[in-house]
Every structure is written in structure tokens, then in C-alpha cells.
Structure 1
């Protein structure tokens, strides 16, 4: 019993943020909205993903060849100007998300989707690892019908490898709200943080071992 209690305390300490368990359901007007397509700039496209703590997800995507940058933020909710504090209540509907800025001539949207499903436990509902709550739920956003079909095709293929259903929501992209400055490049800037050491870096390393062929040279 004592060991179990210590383990539970450790999970709370090593969490990305507030562990308020709110099972906010995505509002129908968001789930049924027309997707908004983000125009390319200087040949670079943008894609949006949520799969737990954005510190982890940002580091994963930034290690991929062809990804110019990954930005931490919030998406999928029904409130304007969400903050770290407000999203952690679970009442905004937003999830911690990343904006992936990439060169489609180097890395395809399909590959980014495969990375999405392959770099997490895609069956975990309302969370990822020790991070629990709707603000950590898995969402993959599409901007047009072609992207939606790619996501659904990859999800169907991935589902064959699991006994449990795939938890990720597939939602039309509406808007991405950039997170506070201190969240950007958090793993890189805070390598000694206990959460980074115990959760984020191991998750990144598991991803690297699974996808060695698409990594940037300095990410090996």
C-alpha cells in the first residue's frame, strides 16, 4: 500500500499541469463546423495535433526532417483567448495542441499523421501518460476533405494493432491559440525539469526508436 501511494504521488508531481479531471465533450457546433484551411506561406504548410502535454508533442515534431517549427498552444474548444490556467480547468473545451509548420516537399501530411498515432498511446481516453483531463485529450484536426480521408485511413490501419478503440477525436480545424512564451521549446529550455526527465524525454526517445528514418540529422 505504501509503495502504491508513493507511485500515485509521483504521477501527480510529474504531471505537465493541473490534473483537474473534467470530461468536457467537444461541443456539436465545433465538431460539425466547416474546416478552416490555413494558407501556405513561403511554401510551408501548417498542421494541428493534440496528444497530451504540448511540451512532449512539440519536441517530437521538431525532431522530424522537414518540420520547420512546432508551436505550443490550445485548440478544439469554445472560448476565445484561452490561457494555460483556463484550459487546465477543463471548462474551455480546449486541448493542449501544437501547430506544426512543415515543408510538404520534404515530409507529407500522411507522415505527420502516422507520427501522431505512433508517438502516443492512441487508446488512452482524456489524457496521455500521467496527464489526465479533457485538456490532454487526443485530437487530430483536418483542414479539408483530403486531410480528413488521410487521417481516417491511418486511424483505421492503426486500430488493427489494438484491442481497445482509438481514442483520438477527428475535428475540423477552427483556430489555434498560441500558448504563453514560457511554454515554447519547454523541453529544450528546461532539460532538468523532473517532468521532462521522467516523462517527456522517454516519450521522445520511444518515438525516435520507432521512426529513425524521418529524424533530422542532429536528432539521432
Structure 2
């Protein structure tokens, strides 16, 4: 994951375009061994993973969906073992910023979560979401089973055959082999209030979330 902060002065106003994090904190106290998540969900739960740009934004979006119980920000899709924030910043690990979504399959299906995924980002921009650029911001639709893979492929085919997007999809379809939890300060960054003073949240994350809310046809939690 890269970290950019570009400030442009215009009179007394600053227009900020940043990538996902302007937070100067280093790794949390956890060892990286602790950060590899167990992908076996608790009884009555299911788990899915999605990469669609900055995980601050993606986490905020999935947390708002009815049936989602918890969302963890982290890294997946690469080959480097035990990736850290600093390593992912180099764009050499192969990992993308990803969220792990725990949900109740009796309330919401994997197929509906795939719809949330496509409704909440631009799947036609290679290695980029808005001002965030680099392979760690690429669009990846992860699956755990062959049944989920078929659901994902069918949605990709349906969207590709429609006129929904002007450009072709560049979303990757990958088996979820491992997920590494991001450092603690990334977790619940928007809903937890950690990013309340971050210009990126105001100028990028919140507009992206509001656009999703306006366009998504599914159920959102009250107050979201």
C-alpha cells in the first residue's frame, strides 16, 4: 500500500488528495504471526473477502449492510508471507488492501455481498480507485468454495454483458488462500472515529460511501 498526501493551496483553502492512510503510526504491538486470520467462521456465520481500494472505505461500506456482523481490514491476494503495512506500501508483496466480512448467511447471501462489492467501487480502473494508485488498490473478488466461484463468475458475466460500465471489468477472481489482519489503528477507522480529522475521509471515503448508499438497492442498517 502506498501513502500519498498532496496538498494544494488555494487562497486559504487546502484541497487534499491522498491515498488510504495519512496516519503516521507504525505497526501495532501484535506480532505478524498473530495477524494471519483463521478463515473458519464461527457456527452460524460465513466469511467472505473483497478488495476494492482503500480498506477504510470498503470496511465502512460493508459494515452498513444488513446481515454483516463484523468487518476486518487487512491484506490478501499476494505471495509474501506475513505482510506488514510498510511492506504492502512498496507494491512488491502482491497483496491488496482487503476486508474480511463475517456475515449471517440466513440474512444475506454471498451473492448479495458480491452485488455490494460491485456497487461500491469502480471495477474498470486497473490498480486504481480514485486518487489511490498501485496494485494494492486493485479490484479482487475472492471466493472460498467452487459454489462461490460460480456465483462470482456469473455476476461478472452478467455485468460484462450489460451497459453498466463504459469500460470492461478488470476485477480479478481469486481463491482466498490467506488473510492477514492489518495493524490495529486501521480497524474501524471511520465508524470508530479514528479518521474524523483526516481530509482523505472527508474528500474521498465519505463521498464514495454516500454514492454507494444512493445507488444500492439492498438493505442497510438503520442509522447507516
Name the one with the larger strand percent: 2
CA deviation after TM superposition for structure 1 residue 108, in Å? 0.6
Q: Give the structure 1 partner of residue 214 of structure 2.
A: 209
Q: Give the structure 2 partner of residue 99 of structure 1.
A: 100
Deviations 1:98-126 (A, max 9, x none): 00000000111000000101111110100
Q: Give the structure 1 partner of residue 202 of structure 2.
A: 197
The whole-number CA distance in structure 2 between the counterparts of 1:157 and 1:121 is 16
**Residues 55, 185 of structure 1: 8 Å contact kept:** yes
Question: Are 1:149 and 2:143 counterparts?
Answer: no
Unpaired segments of 5 or more residues in structure 2?
1-6, 23-37
TM-score, scaled to structure 1 = 0.83
The whole-number CA distance in structure 2 between the counterparts of 1:39 and 1:194 is 36
**Residues 72, 178 of structure 1: 8 Å contact kept:** yes
The whole-number CA distance in structure 2 between the counterparts of 1:197 and 1:215 is 21
TM-score, scaled to structure 2 = 0.82
The whole-number CA distance in structure 1 between the counterparts of 2:73 and 2:129 is 16
The count of residues paired between Structure 1 and Structure 2 equals 195
Deviations 1:131-175 (A, max 9, x none): 000011111111111101110111112222223110110001100
Q: Give the structure 2 partner of residue 70 of structure 1.
A: 71
**Residues 76, 94 of structure 1: 8 Å contact kept:** yes
**Residues 17, 131 of structure 1: 8 Å contact kept:** no
Q: Give the structure 1 partner of residue 51 of structure 2.
A: 50
- SS in structure 1 opposite 2:75? strand
Unpaired segments of 5 or more residues in structure 1?
19-36
RMSD: 2.0
The farther-off stretch of 207-216 and 91-100 is 207-216
Q: Give the structure 1 partner of residue 81 of structure 2.
A: 80
Name the one with the larger helix percent: 1
Q: Give the structure 2 partner of residue 27 of structure 1.
A: none
The farther-off stretch of 171-180 and 151-160 is 151-160
CA deviation after TM superposition for structure 1 residue 42, in Å? 2.4
CA deviation after TM superposition for structure 1 residue 187, in Å? 1.2
